[in-house]
Amino acid sequence: MNGSDYSDSTTKIDELKKLIVKFSADRNWEEYHTPKNLASSVAIEAAELMECFQWLTPEESFELKNDLEKKKAVAEEICDVASYLLNLCAVLEIDLASEFVRKLKKSALKYPISENK
């Protein structure tokens, strides 16, 4: 598993799900990865992500992309959140891509462009 072998433009969500499921299985963590525990872990990791931006102005938050060390810290927290979300999708057999598009369509109806610009 080499990070340079993967990119957003070429990697399928299912591949990432398989990676995190294998990672967990290799460590015998499945018994701890209940939907409740995984959902709780998403929230915990999201709080750690928020911590990266604590006390920053909106402008300063955009500037994090220019500080490689801080950007890496943010990326790692995002990956922690994504790992738990992907694992949760795997455990509950949720097809993230189709549900994402379904939810986006639902949101488009709720927030039409004509009323939200």
Within-domain flag for 64: yes
Within-domain flag for 97: yes
Within-domain flag for 51: yes
Within-domain flag for 16: yes
CA distance 89 to 66: 33
- pLDDT value for 3: 66
Q: pTM of this prediction?
A: 0.90
Residue among 48, 110, 42, 47 at smallest CA distance from 82: 42
- pLDDT value for 4: 77
- pLDDT value for 5: 87
pLDDT digit string, tens, across residues 21-52: 999 999 999 999 999 999 999 999 999 999 99
User: Residue 96's domain spans which residues?
Assistant: 12-115
